[in-house]
Structure 1
């Protein structure tokens, strides 16, 4: 089949396997440049039919030209004969052209005869026709010669086309033989590929077991290097640093239980305030002000640690209406806080000031976005405003709302 040389040495298993791998990557498809036999034969047959049709047309033209040439010759003979008969008028006298006189003896005739001028005119007309026929003969000869040459050329092309068809039949038989060979080669290559895959699976399995064993040894070595107590100490140290910031921010917000330490319990995922009477979890701290405030303090403390330790956490945070415990939406008066109680007004101010101070403290790489109804008159607050949506100037245009109804 031509896949492996007959002289190939198979004594070395590895060399034999490598050669089989090369064979499995061999294309079993026949040469794409080989024409499709039936298509070529059909095309040649069409060409032969066209040549035969052209030859038939040319042969008809030859017959028509020859017939015309024969008719022309017969006409020429007839005209020549008529001209010779009329040539006798050249014996007539110049004055004897009346149709009542005898052209020979010039005696009066009782019956009118054609005048000599009439005969002369007829002779002139015959001469003109004979000249026209004589002038046309060379053109007919040339046309007939061209048609004969074209006929010979078409006959030669027909012979060549017929030979090409015969050769196409032979080539088609070769193509079918090559196709059968390609099919047989594909079957053999498929079996070789299956054998190689099976052999590779065995090798990969052995290699996988070796890698698993190496990985286990590495894990064992790393486990010996890592001290669980050391990891716990590092986690606790990080939580202490975060708790320090939580305690600081809670005091700035003037939240309850800020006399003790505020910390984050990662096991229970909650905030705990350590007091003289024991730990107090967030769900026991009472008011909504404390819940919102401790959430704000915890998230700010976490982002402070993320940024100062360059952790891969997105450096932005969004608060939506953090002042709602003191300034609910239904109490909104264009954002003015003047009508609030002193305690609520101070709480709103403390919240915004704390968020602004922490954002400044964290610095580059951190963005704090706050959406709220409250509006302070302080210059630092005014400078921090990016967009203000109130009344008709809303984030969602009123026209959208009306069109949706």
Structure 2
């Protein structure tokens, strides 16, 4: 059986030199070496040539190379893929080359690499070479959802067992710990497991497009419904507001949308009547009434003041009259001492005639006469004063009635003014409402009725495709593939070093998550990945699952390349090497149990490649088994810390 393997990896320097690593197809290839010799960069190099979005090649190497390349073979077909490495911090270049045919060789100079193209074009070309059917579908100008795209990039998840994966208690495949990559890997598994084929894949892409179209049409339909509801509520509110302003609104608008539109159009064309205006400087009727009222009030004040003065004068006259009357009565006492007014002057004791009191009598008489005259004056003026008071009272009553009449006229004018003001305010409100109605109609008129024909057509086509290619149609195939992978992984797992209680456990693989569960039938107990505990158990599980998948890939002719690369299988065992800090290559013998357990993994790998299923295994390792001939024969390169050989010669110049 033939699958895509790696034959060579090349690193091109800036000064025209090249470093080539050669591997054997369909066999186990081991590179041993100390830390810092660059062996782990092989995974990043292959990943970079497989079109990664960024360059993860370590800086020491990236600074000393201008390009990297890999040569892949599949039977008689060969392919050379290369990619530039830029100077500086970014390192990432989108310039690649792809050359394929029956005879392709890695040149000695990077300038001689053939087939220059963009990263996207090279990836598409490699996908076609590998048989990834989605490559043709992705040439469409329509941008598809990246999570549903099957591409070359997802194959690396099943090729690399990097240091973050090989004995991880949480990460099942390379790239699943990166959110963006994880969604792509999960979406690709059904395709690589053969649960969906190219025709199904094409239908899935079409289903996805139809779902997007239906989603768009549903949004349009909901928007139209929302617009209709908004029209109903807004138009009803505008009509009610117009009615509150006194505008002519009929009952018809509340019956149908068309009658509402007609009524709204009439209201939009409504014009307010122009109110009458006074000449400039002319007082208003209310101002004139208030002016008259002020004049009457001033007149009333003057009349009341005169009436008070007249009343005061009348009171004083009455007091004077009373005082005069009292004085007259006192002076009338003289009549008791004489026979009358013309009495004989004589002594009041002896009655002899005398002239002595005559002067006093005359004075009394004169005073009495004066008082009598004053009384007559007061009595003569009193009717005049009373008549004057009556006239003043009548004038006050007349002015009061006039004031009351003016008050009534003022109230009427104020009421009329308020009514006019309300009408004016309503007119202004009506004008504003009319303008808003016009604006509302202008925008509502642009609304096109929703046409459900396209939505119904999309839904009908989607139902047909889902009936034939939907999840139900592929569920059985996916379950069967999961079962076969689980069987393969379980068989391998039980051959590898495993710490109890998992020696007889069955691996159950779930491709949808993806996840694994270990099930012990005898104990009727299942275990999650995090329950394994021992690093050795995790290593065995990852090795078993990856090889189990590749057995299935080979049987199903999956487009995943037949390449498995492990970064230090001995990783769980190195902490037990007390005399070694992990920075140097370790020579081991089979004397210890741990060494025997570690060698068990390599024995399995040798046997697995002998199944002739086109699987190539590349191991980047610290351990070196000096007494195992198969192991030594599989070692392609041995880079000691104290030696000169390493991935990139130290004498290569840096940029």
TM-score by length of 2: 0.27
Q: Greater share of strand residues, 1 or 2? A: 2
Q: Greater share of helix residues, 1 or 2? A: 1
TM-score by length of 1: 0.42
